[in-house]
């Protein structure tokens, strides 16, 4: 049986704060409740809904995206994928792909023509995932300054 059959997708809301924070802790080992509160509040005005993946009423993953205009020479009609998270026991079973496909079609609906994502060069799992989703290297360079 295809395990993705019983997975449901729905828009992520501020009511999911507990669940998202818990998944995040399980993945990163760190409580970032305030951060997520801010992200989820903004998610509702971000042009496209962010998504939750559920199995029997329990959240097993989420994707956060937004549509925005350009900044520093980024063309308009750009959609961003900010974060993607799937609980450990559901990883490697197509949940990310399901979340991404749905977000992709929502981006398409609102007129986004390019999706951007930034990944740390050591996150090979994520890079492999986005490569599988047909992403190519983009034009933006990351600069940083230590304080």
Contacts to other proteins by CB under 8 A: 28, 30, 32, 35, 38, 42, 45, 68-74, 76, 82-84, 104, 107-108, 112-123, 126-127, 130, 133-147
Closest contact distance (angstroms) between CB of 57 and other proteins is 27
The closest alpha carbon to 103, from 47, 55, 48, belongs to 48
* 59 vs 117 by CB, closer to other proteins: 117
User: Which residues make beta-bridge pairs with 86?
Assistant: 61
Q: Which DSSP state fits 130?
A: H
Full DSSP string of 76-112: SSEEEEEEEEE-GGGTTTTHHHHHHHHHHHHHHHTT-
Nearer to other proteins, 6 or 124 (CB): 124
Closest CB to other proteins among residues 1, 147: 147
The contacts of residue 14 (CB under 8 Å, 6+ apart) are 37, 40, 41, 44
Q: Where is 33: in which H helix or E strand?
A: helix 33-43
CB 60 to other proteins: min, Å: 19
Distance in Å, CB of 98 to other proteins, minimum: 17
Q: How far is the CB of 108 from other proteins (least distance, A)?
A: 5
Question: Which uninterrupted H or E stretch holds 66?
Answer: strand 58-68
**Between 7 and 117, CB nearer to other proteins:** 117
**Please, what is the minimum distance in Å from the beta carbon of residue 83 to other proteins?**
5
Residue closer to other proteins, measured from CB, 55 or 119:
119
């Amino acid at each position: 049986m295809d395990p993705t059959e019983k997975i449901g997708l729905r828009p992520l809301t501020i009511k999911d704060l507990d669940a998202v924070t818990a998944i995040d802790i399980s993945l990163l080992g760190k409580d970032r409740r305030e951060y997520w509160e801010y992200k989820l509040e903004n998610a509702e005005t971000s042009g496209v809904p962010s998504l939750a993946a559920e199995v029997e009423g329990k959240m097993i993953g989420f994707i956060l995206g937004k549509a925005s205009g350009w900044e520093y020479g980024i063309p308009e009609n750009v959609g961003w994928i900010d974060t993607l998270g799937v609980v450990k026991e559901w990883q490697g079973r197509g949940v990310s792909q399901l979340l991404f496909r749905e977000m992709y079609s929502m981006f398409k609906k609102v007129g986004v023509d390019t999706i951007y994502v930034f990944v740390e060069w050591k996150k090979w799992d994520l890079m492999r995932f986005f490569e599988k989703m047909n992403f190519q290297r983009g034009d933006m360079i990351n600069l940083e300054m230590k304080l």
